[in-house]
A and B are shown apart, each in its own frame.
Chain A
Amino acid sequence: MTLAIILYTGAIGLLVIGLAGVVMSSHLFRMLLGLVIAEAGANLLLILAGYRWGGAAPIWQAGQFPTTMVDPVPQAMVLTAIVIGVGVQALAIALLIRHRHYSGTLQRTGGLNQLQADLDREAGVRHTRSSDAPTLNPLTEVEHVH
């Protein structure tokens, strides 16, 4: 029982620390690291779902499969989940490189303000919110603003 508590505390702790890290970091790269940590926690939870007391690895040994073995299915799922995580992380880093290239910063707040301004500019509305009627054509509306 204590082993279960320790293992689950580890897995859930990683998951929650990761999620909190994503929410609370002020730097975009650290937010990504938070996600990586949270994914590790979720993968551990999956692995724990298939653990069996005294179970051997599900591999043919000495002419037979072990009679008491851990569940092979969660292990296969974790393999899949890890690879998915790697793909997503690589993509996220590429996105950060591109964002850094555009804006010169990876700070969360700076990036957000700039994002809002960029989106507003692309949408063709003033940065300050007004309750004007909607603009019909974003491209031509930019000229009206000035």
Chain B
Amino acid sequence: MSREHRSMAWTPLLFSGGLAFMLFSLFMAVPFGEPLMRVGGMIQQTDGELGAANLVTAVVLGYRALDTLGELAILFAASTSVGLILTGVKQRTVSVECEELGELFEQASTLLLPLLIMVGFYIITHGHLTPGGGFQGGVIIAVALFLPTLAGRGAALLNHRLIQQVEGGAGALFILLGVAALLQGESFLQPWLPVGEIGALFSAGTLPLLYLAVGIKVGAELAALLTHLSTNVPSPEVPR
């Protein structure tokens, strides 16, 4: 790095320092560890009206379900954009280090695949009871589906068409569960079905169903994203 470059770096550093000082003094002005919990307290006082043992799930899928729909749509838009951007880039499967991986790795990936999928679904279906849920479980499922590619056996497991149908269906399920509440004369995305006994696996009305839709959608989308990114590596030579 030339001397000129180094002297130019002072300006951003100065600004960063200023920003850090400003943010620090602002956040120190707020009492730490004693949140007002204006909204959080109201949720606490409902005492689990939605039947979800995990209150974070009640917030994510009940009180702030529209945020979750938006976030699903963001992931969906990102995966669609990636597909749009990378179509036409020269395809090259990642098989460079295939030989070096060895038998052990391949066999282990085959063994791990069903286990990981099971763990993923466990985390999704228990999202209303324990920490975890659709996003976390979905990521595990995506990793499971991506494992064969990592092990160098190509993306044989991933049928793009199937994945698109699964993710589209799961997203539609989320919205349709909300619309179903609307058709019953209630609000959009209002939880329905009996609440059941708090802490039981089959409880909390539609929340587990919503999380199942989220989990499947996230799993399918991330798997599609990962394979898209890994099979569309540009060739190392410089075109220009």
Contact = CB atoms under 8 A, between A and B. Distances in A.
B228 interface: yes
Range for the number of chain A residues in contact with chain B: 35 or more
Interface string A33-58: 00000000000010011111100011
A112 interface: no
B64 A76 contact: yes
Interface string A94-121: 1101101111110000000000000000
Interface centre among A7, A45, A95, A97 (most CB of B within 10 A): A97
Contacts of B32: 1, 3-4, 7-8, 48, 51
Nearest to B81: A91
B216 to A, nearest CB: 15
B193 interface: no
B218 to A, nearest CB: 8
A20 interface: yes
Contact of B56 (A13, A23, A75): A75
B59 interface: yes
A71 B38 CA distance: 9
Interface string A46-82: 0011111100011110000100011111011101101
Nearest to B8: A24
Interface centre among A9, A93, A94 (most CB of B within 10 A): A94
A94 B234 CA distance: 11
Contacts of A139: none
Contact of A84 (B9, B23, B71, B130): B71
B78 A88 contact: yes
The secondary structure that dominates the A interface is helix
A23 B12 contact: yes
B24 A52 contact: no
A83 B74 contact: yes
A50 B58 CA distance: 16
B33 A72 contact: no
Contacts of B70: 80
Contact of B86 (A84, A94, A103): A94
Interface string B69-99: 0110011011101100110011000000000
Interface of A: 1, 3-5, 7-9, 12-13, 15-17, 19-20, 23-24, 45, 48-53, 57-60, 65, 69-73, 75-77, 79-80, 82-84, 86-88, 90-91, 93-95, 97-98, 100-105
Given A9-B24, A76-B56, A98-B89, 18 more contacts: A3-B33, A12-B24, A15-B20, A24-B9, A49-B30, A65-B48, A75-B59, A77-B67, A79-B135, A80-B60, A87-B77, A88-B78, A90-B229, A93-B229, A94-B229, A95-B85, A103-B240, A105-B238
Interface of B: 9, 12-13, 15-17, 19-20, 23-24, 27-28, 30, 32-35, 37, 39-40, 43-44, 47-48, 53-56, 58-60, 64, 67-68, 70-71, 74-75, 77-79, 81-82, 85-86, 89-90, 129-131, 135, 198-199, 218, 222, 225, 228-229, 232-234, 238-240
